[in-house]
Amino acid sequence: SQIAKITVLPGDYIGPEIMKAGLAVLKAVSEDEFNYQIDEQPFGGAGIDQKGDPLPQATLDSAKNSDAVLLAAIGGPKWDDAPKRPEKGLLQIRQELNLFANIRPTAISQAMQKYSPIKQVEPVDFVIVRELTSGIYFGKPREIDDHHAIDTMRYTTDEIRRVARVAFEMAMKRNKHVTMVDKANVLATSNLWRRVVSDVAAEYPEVRYDNSYVDAAAMKIISAPEQFDVILTENMFGDILSDESAEITGSLGTIPSMSRGTDGPALYEPIHGSAPDIAGKGIANPLSMINSVAMMLTHTFDRPDLADQINQSVDDVIESGNVTPDLGGTASTTEVTDAIINKIRERRNAYVENDV
């Protein structure tokens, strides 16, 4: 069969540490099952250091010619004063690949319950669909001088409609409930979102559609997260709410994401950053990266079977308490990764034995 092309962007600080873990799991689960080649490229701070640009041309070309992009994390204090910061490269690759929809799941599985800082009675399983290539991150004018600064939150109806459709399509495959989060009591952009999204909602009569102001939504994510299915929101609100949502699973270091457009490669990355505070210590949680690999196998390569092997093995390891310090454990990045790989192999051997 055809060989899958994956562009790999390890990035900065803990980026390379967790990418190594993700690739080791990909290799283990792919054995005899999935053919791929990786093209590793400098990106973010590493792009600045090696090529003088956070998104070097060769990196962008590789991404554009790939079937999927795997990114770990970029940025950090080393490049805070760079004329073009690593974060700028991230915004640029999202725009270049037209990755307007960012999907960030939050689930507290049975195995995760004991790590959650909140007490839940009902299971939690929702996704945030975050608009990713517009809003205040990209709007013009954008200026700063000694006495004032301007950022602009701007949206067009087309930008809202296409990401809204992603959310409603997703809801159709889940629990048929979309909550749009905005600040329609203050912002003009939010009012435009309400108009456009209620039109889109009318195309999906089976989906229950409601709204929440962002401040209240931040509260409900802690007090009643089980009430959400699909949260649809604009770029900056989605950034903030997704870190908050991640943390109710026990750690920001567990949550993967997918960023997609209409065609072309999707990009898979943890939602967290490069964690400079723990880099080089070998204790970064690799689950966000490993879960991103599983998401890639499902959504780009149509191998939910392989993703399941990863997910079940991750659950086994979480259940066993063999976890990194952010989840209260004492295991290293490598120990967690090796434990997951061992579980994958055990599962495979058991399957082969049952087969004969």
Task: Tell which one of 131, 234, 239, 335 touches ligand IPM (CB under 6 A).
Answer: 239
**53 included as an active-site residue:** no
DSSP state of 121: S
288 binds, among ligand NAD, Mn ion, ligand IPM, none (CB under 5 to 8 A by kind): ligand NAD
Q: From CA 140, how far away is CA 133, in angstroms rounded?
A: 13
Q: Which is nearer to ligand IPM, 250 or 273 (CB)?
A: 273
Q: Of these residues, 5, 78, 84, 183, which one is catalytic? A: 183
Residue 215 a catalytic site member = yes
Could you say which residues in the range 240-299 bind ligand NAD, by CB under 6 A?
Answer: 252-253, 269, 272-278, 284-285, 288
- Residue with the two structure tokens 């990401």: 163
| The total number of residues written for the chain in this structure | 356
- The candidate with the shortest Cα–Cα distance to 233, out of 157, 137, 167, is 167
Question: Is residue 199 among the annotated active site residues?
Answer: no
State the binding string over 46-75 for ligand IPM (x if CB under 6 A, else -).
-----------------------------x
Q: Is 38 left (phi over 0), alpha (psi -120 to 50) or beta?
A: beta
Give me the sign of the Cα torsion angle 308, 314, 316, 319: negative
Angle at 325 (CA atoms; ends 321, 330), nearest 5 degrees: 60
Tokens of 332: 């290293």
Gap between the Cα atoms of 177 and 222, Å rounded: 19
Phi, psi at residue 343, to the nearest 5°? Answer: -65, -40
Query: Does 276 appear as a known binding residue?
Result: yes
Q: Which of 28, 221, 271, 327 binds ligand IPM (CB under 6 A)?
A: 271
Q: Could you tell me if 222 and 249 are in contact, meaning their C-beta atoms sit under 8 angstroms apart?
A: no
Contact status: 247 vs Mn ion (CB under 5 A): no
Catalytic site includes residue 20: no
**Residue 351 known to be catalytic:** no
Provide the binding-site residues for ligand IPM, judged by CB under 6 A: 75, 87, 90-91, 239, 271, 273
Provide the binding-site residues for Mn ion, judged by CB under 5 A: 239
Catalytic residue numbers, as ranges:
137, 183, 215, 239, 243
Provide the binding-site residues for ligand NAD, judged by CB under 6 A: 18, 73-76, 87, 90, 252-253, 269, 272-278, 284-285, 288, 326
Binding-site residues from annotation for NAD(+): 273-285
